Amino acid sequence: MKHVKAARPLFALLILAIGLCALTSPPLRGVVLIQVDVSNPEAVVFTATGNAPLVLNEATRLFQGVILQDFFPAGSNQGEGFTEEVFATNSALGPTNDSGDFIPYDIALITPGSPDLEIAHAGRFGGAYQIFDPASAAFSGSLILDLSDYMLPSAGAIGPISTDSFLAEDFSFGEPDIIGQWQVIPEPRFYGALFGLISPAWVVSRRRRQSGRICG
């Protein structure tokens, strides 16, 4: 019974740790296509996970890109005026396209009052179509943006990635396709805090077991 009592605090902390990890994990109903590292607001890194998209989409041009819905915290991106453009400091993130060439996204489009972040290719006129095929990876590479002027999502935040509702093939508007999800990776200090929470309890439990053996 002594061993059972000694293990109870450790068991409770393990349950707490599992719960905290669950809060920072993507829901089972989605697939994360882009991971985001916001630890340095002047160099926010968007990295492809290599996962395949949920649906087939071939109707959106590269210069329309994709939309990371609800990227900015609610009420943080206020203001009026034209869409703001943030050019990438480093760009190697992009989808497959029908030309057979890799053309990376190199610009972010931010509309005042909107929580969404659009990433696209800066070539506004013409350009190849994007191809999102469930049989292959949605994106490859990584993209770095200076978003220090904006409030960024917190660690573990997650949201949908959609194509533009404007269909360039016939110049009409339709329902955007949700092709997957973006997710902000937990900060390294989160795991450090988690380890710091569990390790003392493990040490205490181990000492109690050893003490019980000696006394026995």
Q: Is residue 150 part of a domain?
A: yes
pLDDT in tens, 66-122: 999 999 998 776 666 678 999 998 888 999 877 777 889 999 999 888 899 999 988
Indicate whether 34 belongs to any domain: yes
Domain ranges, residue 81: 25-185
Domain membership of residue 1 (yes or no) is no
Residue 63 near residue 118 (C-beta atoms within 8 A): no
Burial of 113 (0-12, 13-18, 19+ CB in 10 A): exposed
pLDDT at 202: 46
28: which residues sit within 8 A by CB, 6+ positions away?
Answer: none
Instruction: Say if 190 falls within a structural domain.
Output: no
pLDDT of residue 44: 97
Enumerate the β-bridge partners of residue 44.
145
Residue type at 55 in one-letter notation: V
Residue 11 included in any domain: no
> For each successive 10 residues of the chain (216 residues), what is the average pLDDT?
48 45 45 97 96 87 88 78 87 83 89 91 73 92 95 95 70 75 77 48 53 54
Number of domains in the chain: 1
Domain assignment present for residue 29? The answer is: yes
Put simply, whether the predicted model's pTM sits higher than 0.75 gets the answer no
Q: Examine residue 83 and state whether it is found in any structural domain, yes or no.
A: yes
DSSP letter for each residue of 193-208: HHHHHHHHHHHHHHHH
Give a yes or no: residue 193 inside a domain: no
